[in-house]
């Protein structure tokens, strides 16, 4: 688990190795989550088709503003959180979000039973 890091010139995070710096800096994100519901009664082939359409649509996101438009197109839901500390995310999501450019969406994750979603990285800052 990465708890503290510095941002490189290209906007990616590099874990801090110096213990003194680790307690002083925290990476914080502004994230938009786009999710789609997949009814349990939906046949497996239709579920796969909806997930493929969702994946294609979110791949076109190039800014945080795009998230709302794409969500509307795919009949999805948007949740915006302006202050998510890196340590609040699961280890798998930490790595994924750290490696996602600002304005872009993470790969699709989730299941047909709990919903399929992406996170759009709207901002990345150190506090």
Nearest to 117 by CA among 63, 73, 76: 76
- What pTM did the predictor assign? 0.81
Burial letters 56-68, b for 16+ CB under 10 A, else e: ebbeebeebebbe
Domain-by-domain residue ranges, the chain? 29-126
The class level of CATH for 29-126 reads alpha beta
Per-residue model confidence (pLDDT) at position 1: 43
pLDDT of 113: 85
| Helix segments in the chain, DSSP class H | 19-22, 44-59, 64-73, 91-98
Residues of the chain with pLDDT under 50: 1-2
């Amino acid at each position: 688990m990465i708890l503290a890091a510095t941002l490189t010139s290209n906007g990616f995070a590099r874990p801090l190795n110096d213990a003194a710096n680790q307690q002083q800096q925290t990476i914080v994100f502004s994230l938009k989550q786009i999710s789609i519901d997949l009814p349990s009664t939906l046949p497996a082939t239709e579920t796969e088709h909806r997930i493929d359409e969702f994946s294609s649509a979110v791949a076109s996101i190039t800014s945080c503003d795009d998230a709302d438009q794409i969500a509307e197109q795919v009949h999805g839901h948007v949740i915006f959180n302006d202050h998510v500390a890196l340590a609040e995310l699961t280890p798998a999501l930490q790595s994924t979000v750290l490696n996602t450019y600002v304005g872009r969406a993470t790969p699709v994750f989730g299941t047909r039973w709990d919903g399929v979603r992406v996170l759009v990285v709207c901002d990345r800052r150190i506090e």
